[in-house]
Amino acid sequence: MTVRTIDPVPRIASQILLDKAELLGGRHAAEIRQILDQRGVVFFRDVNFTDDEQLAFAATLGTIRLGAIRKEGDRGIMTITRNPDDNPRYAEYFHGTFHWHMDGSYEDIPPLASILSARVLSATGGQTEFANSYAAWEDLPGDEKRALERLQVVHSMETLLRLAFPEPSDEQLESWRTSFIPKTHPLVWTHRSGRKSLVLGHSVTSIVGMAKPESDALLRKLMNWVTQPRFVYRHDWQPGDTLIWDNTGTLHRVEPYTADSGRTMQRVTLDGEEPLARAA
Ligand SMILES: [Fe+2]
């Protein structure tokens, strides 16, 4: 290791002490990827990236996601705001971000990571929380691990968005169901590295083959386990911050903020590099 880091909490997240020029130079990219893999979240203070700089930095780390499913825009940078005038297509979906989830849980190859920069902060709320689903797996007792490894879970955008819209209109339901087809995944992701993480979030509808009361109880227990304070980092945004989360080994959510708060973030997402389920 040559870069200096500060770990704000023991089990997740590192602040990396590099400045903008060092980040854009790309010389530390492999090391940043390595720390991201180990810590789930990395962040940099006072970098104040422009859109072009954020894209250039992202390109040193992986393949920038364009268009396809999430319509990231022409260049792969997306404005995250609740203001429907700024982002009419996705303002509704941001309600779902108030609840624990991983991105792309309806895809075979979920995104590797997202790179988020703070532009305008909300006066209240807007902090982002991350839970380390690698660490949560590692700390489970061995007998529980063996039982959980046999299970599959169904992820559905409808399940996540019903938390925000308990009584959706027919149009909302139609839109959610056609835009995001429910997806069955193994509960435990065995990564190419050999490490394992839990594939959870409030998008999980059910455990395959389990009666609903039993399934609901186990899912509640697992979500409480993964999101307990020792696996969680809460990022208190400062202007100029850039943060990256490993979407394959963390869950995230944002503390609610109002649509008129002005909160504006810029996001670049990196394509996934391995399928969640291994070919049989
Ligand atoms: Fe998200």
- Domain with 146 in it: what CATH number? 3.60.130.10
Two structure tokens written together for 125: 């709320």
Residue by residue, pLDDT tens for the chain (280 residues) are: 589 999 999 999 999 999 999 999 999 999 999 999 999 999 999 999 999 999 999 999 999 998 654 555 578 998 888 887 776 666 677 788 999 999 999 999 999 999 999 999 999 999 999 999 999 999 999 999 999 999 999 999 899 999 989 999 999 999 888 888 999 999 999 999 999 999 999 999 999 999 999 999 999 999 999 999 999 999 999 999 999 999 999 999 999 999 899 999 999 999 999 999 876 5
Assigned domain for 223 exists:
yes
HSE of 170, CA atoms in CB hemisphere, 13 A: 0
Assigned domain for 143 exists:
yes
d(CA 163, ligand 1 centre) in Å: 15
Assigned domain for 279 exists:
no
d(CA 18, ligand 1 centre) in Å: 25
Assigned domain for 278 exists:
no
Assigned domain for 173 exists:
yes
Q: Ligand 1 being an ion, which residues bring their Cβ within 5 A of it?
A: 103
Cα 5 to Cα 16: distance, rounded to the nearest angstrom: 5
Structural domain range at position 154 = 5-270
Assigned domain for 215 exists:
yes
Cα 183 to Cα 107: distance, rounded to the nearest angstrom: 7
98 residue type, one letter: F
pTM: 0.95
Assigned domain for 225 exists:
yes
d(CA 104, ligand 1 centre) in Å: 8
Query: In the chain, how many domains are there?
Result: 1
d(CA 114, ligand 1 centre) in Å: 9
Assigned domain for 280 exists:
no
Nearest to 29 by CA among 66, 67, 8, 59: 59
